[in-house]
Structure 1
Amino acid sequence: MDIRRAAALSLPPKKARRPAIGNEITESPFRPHVPADRRILLWTTPYSLKAQINRDAEVSPRLQALMYEGLLSSTVDDTRQAYGAGLLRFNQFRDDKGISESSWMPASSTLLGAFVANYIGSGTGKMIQNWLNGLRLWHIYNEAEWHGKEGWLPALTKSADKKGAVSKRTPRGPITEEHLMALRKSLDLSLPMHAAIWAAAVAAFWVVDALGSC
């Protein structure tokens, strides 16, 4: 019985998408091609195999599957999806730097610090912290010790927060009455849907205008 696969069946069916350019990782039996929200459960390490042997000596496969199902239900799909992105980045980092699979877990504070330092300035501090949160939960799933609060990690995460990349999108100009009238010309107010769109647009425009005048 594949305990983790059995537990994953408790989630709604979902197909894994083809990796986008830049999201590829080296093929490994520890990292099957699965949807992002399943990585937290189905991506493993050599350490996971050792922990599995210890669990097998204590409880049945069915009970273990129930335990994993409980862990899955403790987080919502969106959270697992976001955490799956963190696991992807961590594994890409490992591939790029040639770090052995045996070092993945338990990840040392040095390895985690290097991971954070590698991405400082390339994303927001909140994003990097979410990646770490995902790695922490991944360690919990595998009963591995977590070193994410040790050594340089607190200082590095603070640096990631301070130097987080800001949005590069060019600020857009304000909506004007000309924009509003252009919308009006494209609508047929005899249609209920169009009338509702026009009413919402007019209300939003003048409310925001009034707030800007305060």
Structure 2
Amino acid sequence: MIVDNLFKRQHRRAAAQPYGSFSTRRKHAHSRRPNLSEEAQEKIQRAMQNAWADSTLDKYGASLEAYFHFCNKEQVSRRQRLPADEFLLCAFAASRAGEVAGGTARGAVAAVKAWHIVNGEQWNGGIRLRYTLRGVEKLAPSSSKHDERPPVTAAMLDVLDEELDHNDPKDAAVFVTACCAFWGQARLGELLSTAQGSYKQGRIPLGADLKPPSSRAGSRILRLPYTKTKGKLGEDTMICRQRGRSDPIHAVENHLVVNDIQADLPLFAYRNERGDLKCLTRKKFLERCNEVWARHGFPTHTGHAFRIGGTTELLIAGVSPEVVQAMGRWKSDAFKVYWRRLDLLAPLHAEYVNV
């Protein structure tokens, strides 16, 4: 049984219930497969387990649970669930039409597709399923549609610079995280721990992951040991010197001194009253930033707003989209979805094109 624990963690029960486990494949599906050794099968399982990000697996687990519940309700037999006929897939996709957003339905179908992949079964989703999902998207209630998340701006970083105490260990850590996440187009999950005072080895940057200056201005490469798209392979992000108060290089230099960050210690951390190093968490970081911004009339911002804001700011500054894409480690043109300031970007690149 390959990848029997793909959709694990809090939704592990979804893959274990009757008529929904990974052992439901029909015997004839194996008839033409070679009889591989246990070692070969274990390697397949290990590779497949790392094909999806942890956050994606958690979401897929919940979606699979919904699929099994739907099949139970409709009295769909075990044999009909895997592989699923396109008619069944369309019925599942349309089961919450008028209740959820199109993206929610697409995500649920993607989970079922992944379940087929890891079980080596044929995926029968085709043009009928695509049209069904399109219809679900058009039928989505207005309550399921949220306004675009506003990006963090360079001006908001200036507010942090003014309000935070750069000699305070925690504030120094908050400010350097904000600057690096913004200008490095990084996800907060790639920089910060999820648990106060602790961290998983190989998941967040250490002091040694901040490389020596690579330019005369002092710009540096920051090695991210774990990223959403590359996993444990990690990726590099560039922290470039900037003019103004949100210069990430100045923030880094101040942080290293104030918090005495050593090579083998988490980079985005701070010293408490006793001098012990505590990891800065996403929750604590956002609480401090939003606390400051609220006093200046800014709405509450989420973690992804830093990546969106950095991308937008670089584009507004005239940096080539290809360079922005490379710096942000975008694997496709998907980053263009986050071009939030069309009022500034369009004139910058399209005004007077016939002159």
Tell me if both proteins adopt one fold, taking TM over 0.5 as the criterion.
Answer: yes
Amino acid at match of 1:103: Q
2:50 corresponds to which of 73, 82, 106: 73
Amino acid at match of 1:97: E
Confirm or deny that 1:208 pairs with 2:184. Answer: no
Shift of 1:4: 4.4
Name the structure 2 match of 1:162.
138
How far apart, CA to CA, are the structure 1 residues paired with 2:12 and 2:25? 26
The secondary structure found in structure 1 opposite 2:83 is coil
Shift of 1:149: 2.0
Confirm or deny that 1:143 pairs with 2:233. Answer: no
How far apart, CA to CA, are the structure 2 residues paired with 1:198 and 1:3? 44
Confirm or deny that 1:91 pairs with 2:68. Answer: yes
Task: Number of aligned residue pairs: give it.
Answer: 165
Show CA shifts across 1:64-93 (max 9, x none).
121121111111111111111221111111
Show CA shifts across 1:25-45 (max 9, x none).
9952753xxxxxxxxxxx332
Unmatched tracts of structure 2, length 5 or more: 145-167, 175-286, 300-355
Counterparts of residues 47-196 of structure 1 (less than 5 Å): 47=26, 49-52=27-30, 54-55=32-33, 57-150=34-127, 152-167=128-143
Shift of 1:163: 1.7
Amino acid at match of 2:126: K
With over 3 angstroms needed to count, the CA separation of the structure-2 counterparts of 1:30 and 1:207, relative to structure 1, is: closer
How far apart, CA to CA, are the structure 2 residues paired with 1:88 and 1:143? 20
TM-score (norm 1): 0.61
How far apart, CA to CA, are the structure 2 residues paired with 1:116 and 1:206? 44
Name the structure 2 match of 1:45.
24
Unmatched tracts of structure 1, length 5 or more: 32-42, 169-191, 210-214
Contact 2:83 / 2:123 at 8 angstroms: preserved in 1?
yes
Contact 1:121 / 1:165 at 8 angstroms: preserved in 2?
yes
Contact 1:87 / 1:134 at 8 angstroms: preserved in 2?
yes
Shift of 1:140: 1.0
Amino acid at match of 1:153: L
Show CA shifts across 1:148-167 (max 9, x none).
123x2111101111222444
Amino acid at match of 2:25: P
TM-score (norm 2): 0.39
Shift of 1:46: 3.4
The secondary structure found in structure 2 opposite 1:147 is coil
Judge which range, 91-100 or 119-128, deviates more: 119-128
1:28 corresponds to which of 12, 18, 34: 18
With over 3 angstroms needed to count, the CA separation of the structure-2 counterparts of 1:141 and 1:27, relative to structure 1, is: closer
The secondary structure found in structure 2 opposite 1:119 is coil
Shift of 1:106: 1.5
Amino acid at match of 2:50: S
Q: Which has the higher strand share?
A: 2
Shift of 1:18: 9.6
Contact 1:124 / 1:161 at 8 angstroms: preserved in 2?
yes
With over 3 angstroms needed to count, the CA separation of the structure-2 counterparts of 1:125 and 1:50, relative to structure 1, is: same
With over 3 angstroms needed to count, the CA separation of the structure-2 counterparts of 1:71 and 1:207, relative to structure 1, is: same
With over 3 angstroms needed to count, the CA separation of the structure-2 counterparts of 1:17 and 1:141, relative to structure 1, is: closer
Contact 1:26 / 1:95 at 8 angstroms: preserved in 2?
no
Deviating 4+ runs (over 4 angstroms): 2-5, 14-19, 24-27, 196-200
Q: What is the alpha-carbon root mean square deviation over aligned residues?
A: 3.9
